Amino acid sequence: MKNSHWFQVVGAAAVTVGMAVNAPVAMADGDADLLVVAKASDPQTLDPAQTMDNNDWTVTYPLYQRLVAYDVSEDGKGLTSVIGELASTWTASDDGTVWTFDLASGNAFSDGATVDAAAVEYSFNRLMDLGRGPSEAFPGGMKVEATGDMQVTFTLEQPFAPFLYTLANNGAGIVNPAVEGKGDDHGTEWLSANSAGSGAYMLTGWERGQSLVLEPNPNYGGATPEIEKIRVDIIAEAAARRLKLEAGDVHIAESLPVDQLDALGSKDGIEVQNYPSLKVTYLYLNNKVAPLDNVDVRRAISAAVDYQGIIDGILDGNGVQMHGPIPEGMWGQNKNATQYSYDLTSAKKALDVAGGASEEISFLYSDRDPLWEPIAIATQAYLSQLGLNVKLEKLANATMRERFDTGEFGIATGNWSPDFADPYMFTNYWFDSKRHGLAGNRSWYSNDKVDGLLQQAVVSSDTAERTALYGELQEIVTDEAAYVYLFQKDYRIAVRDDVEGFVFNPMLEDIFNFGGMSLSD
């Protein structure tokens, strides 16, 4: 009797498990209403006033609208120019300090509340009050005031030429003022895990470390999105992301390494898309420490690097050499500025002019970007041909950043992508002597003339004048080899071929225009 009970229990358990395990499992492939994106890591916070990470912006950007948005060309390419999104029209005072925006009607937050001037005023005041990273893109002392139900006015203490473009930034997302009632500190804790925007989608679920779900905002003022559900799956391992893409369980796999992308290029049903990007990789040459404080040593280093060799060998050809600090695709680039190329003879000549360099040069890098280590090793080899003694130091990323900030390094490698579409991002940040360290001027470069050009360029509202100022600046800083300008790496992404309508914008890496995308049957 006792034994028969056991058999019954075990038998029932086996049947239960068998039924459960054989239950059907929904797959993404074939479901035209569900788009699945595979990302490597969970967002940190979804509060637009707090997040500084493109990884978070994949989710936050489609949840919110901004006063302006990046335009799309007639042939479907993402542009760096802006058009109105929440704003229908705007005007700026002659001196560029007062900006008035009239809001379009018909936009609403996901709870049905109207997006009005009070909401815009609230969002910017919240952003500046919190004073976190995203607030840095906007000029200090900026005043925002609702000057009508649907009109808002920004008053700047002094002209800030890129101002209009900063409004397309993720941090400029307009937040429903109702978040104020969601706890202390402007509802930051609540908004870190919820959405309160007027974008095409709203957040409806977040299983931490596993997936986030977006569904259309029922009150969205624009065209109704075609895709009924977006799921962002968190899959840390690149090989697993690739396998899921191949199996049709995800439609878009982000952040795949070069070799995986190359392998996927030949698979049926998958497209590996390449886009020119504004993200650049460059070397910081610490202008304050010997021997790099000698301009001829920096010139020698710039001429000893095999740029094309790095692009071909490390990027598999998917990139282009930078031509000075302003990348291709951003207005203001000066093609007459010096572009160094691999020329060992002139490198040796420059080093001779400098009188040689016997000091050990530290080269910092971390594993934050898998390309940095091969770049460091290659650079060490290139510079050894000049007899330079380069010591590689692989550090934790946080430690490396600390060293940038204190200037305790010789050479280091880094990436940079713009927060708003203006050459300011590549000039004022990189060369202003007030921004030494992590804040942007990581080569600790100082030049009074350059500082003067930067100041003139930031207050001028005349694009032609700014182009000329930045043009002059580029000739100086490339001649003085403040940095080693390596490459612009292509943005590459693996997408299943049933995904339609994706528009890549070089200002919005890792961000998808979900509202305009669809899935073919």
**Paired tokens of 249:** 């369980």
Work out which of 54, 440, 447, 456 binds other proteins, going by CB under 8 A.
440
**Count of other CB atoms within 10 angstroms of residue 352:** 11
Work out which of 95, 157, 180, 207 binds other proteins, going by CB under 8 A.
207
DSSP 114: B
Bridge partner list, 205: 213
Q: Does 44 bind other proteins (CB under 8 A)?
A: yes
DSSP string, 404-448: HHHT--SEEEEEE--SSSSTHHHHHHHH-GGGBSTTSBTT----H
Smallest distance, Å, CB 141 to other proteins? 12
d(CA 379, CA 53): 29
| 45-53, 101-109, 313-321, 449-457 -> range binding other proteins (CB under 8 A) | 45-53
Q: Does 20 bind other proteins (CB under 8 A)?
A: yes
CB closer to other proteins, 406 vs 520: 406
Smallest distance, Å, CB 501 to other proteins? 23
d(CA 178, CA 173): 15
Work out which of 12, 239, 290, 381 binds other proteins, going by CB under 8 A.
239
Q: Does 211 bind other proteins (CB under 8 A)?
A: yes
CB closer to other proteins, 147 vs 192: 192
Work out which of 37, 47, 420, 489 binds other proteins, going by CB under 8 A.
47
**Paired tokens of 181:** 């009632």
| 89-97, 233-241, 332-340, 347-355 -> range binding other proteins (CB under 8 A) | 233-241
Q: Does 451 bind other proteins (CB under 8 A)?
A: no
| 109-117, 135-143, 340-348, 350-358 -> range binding other proteins (CB under 8 A) | 135-143
Smallest distance, Å, CB 194 to other proteins? 11
Q: Check: CB of residue 519 under 8 Å from CB of residue 251.
A: yes
Q: Check: CB of residue 493 under 8 Å from CB of residue 323.
A: no
Smallest distance, Å, CB 61 to other proteins? 16
Strand bridging mode 389-394 / 360-365: parallel
Bridge partner list, 362: 391
Pattern 179-198, other proteins, x by CB under 8 A: ---------xx--xx-----
d(CA 343, CA 416): 26
CB closer to other proteins, 22 vs 345: 22
Q: Does 23 bind other proteins (CB under 8 A)?
A: yes
d(CA 372, CA 374): 6
What are the CA-CA distances from residue 200 to residues 45, 110, 172 (Å)?
19, 9, 16
Q: Does 63 bind other proteins (CB under 8 A)?
A: no
Q: Check: CB of residue 334 under 8 Å from CB of residue 324.
A: yes
Work out which of 29, 402, 475, 498 binds other proteins, going by CB under 8 A.
402
CB closer to other proteins, 34 vs 450: 34
Smallest distance, Å, CB 401 to other proteins? 7
Smallest distance, Å, CB 237 to other proteins? 5
d(CA 33, CA 379): 49
CB closer to other proteins, 134 vs 291: 134
Q: Which residue has the tokens 């961000």?
A: 511
Smallest distance, Å, CB 427 to other proteins? 14
Smallest distance, Å, CB 240 to other proteins? 5
Q: Which amino acid belongs to residue 266?
A: S
* The total number of residues written for the chain in this structure: 521
d(CA 170, CA 66): 8
d(CA 299, CA 397): 28
Work out which of 37, 48, 50, 338 binds other proteins, going by CB under 8 A.
50
Smallest distance, Å, CB 57 to other proteins? 12
Q: Does 266 bind other proteins (CB under 8 A)?
A: no
Q: Does 22 bind other proteins (CB under 8 A)?
A: yes
Smallest distance, Å, CB 162 to other proteins? 13
- # binding residues, other proteins (CB under 8 A): 60
Bridge partner list, 34: 229
Q: Which amino acid belongs to residue 301?
A: I
Q: Which amino acid belongs to residue 100?
A: T
Q: Check: CB of residue 80 under 8 Å from CB of residue 89.
A: no
Smallest distance, Å, CB 400 to other proteins? 9
SS3 59: helix
d(CA 438, CA 398): 11
Q: Which amino acid belongs to residue 405?
A: D
Q: Does 159 bind other proteins (CB under 8 A)?
A: no
Work out which of 9, 32, 83, 240 binds other proteins, going by CB under 8 A.
240
| 42-50, 86-94, 161-169, 288-296 -> range binding other proteins (CB under 8 A) | 42-50
DSSP string, 315-373: STT-EEE--SSSPTTSTT--TTS------HHHHHHHHHHHT---SEEEEEE-SSSTTHH
CB closer to other proteins, 107 vs 428: 428
**Count of other CB atoms within 10 angstroms of residue 54:** 16
Q: Does 17 bind other proteins (CB under 8 A)?
A: yes
Work out which of 95, 111, 136, 497 binds other proteins, going by CB under 8 A.
136
Q: Does 405 bind other proteins (CB under 8 A)?
A: yes
Residues that bind other proteins (CB under 8 A): 16-17, 19-23, 25-26, 34, 41-42, 44-45, 47, 50, 52, 131-136, 140, 188-189, 192-193, 207-211, 213, 231, 233-237, 239-240, 243-244, 246-247, 249, 396-399, 401-403, 405, 419, 429, 438-440
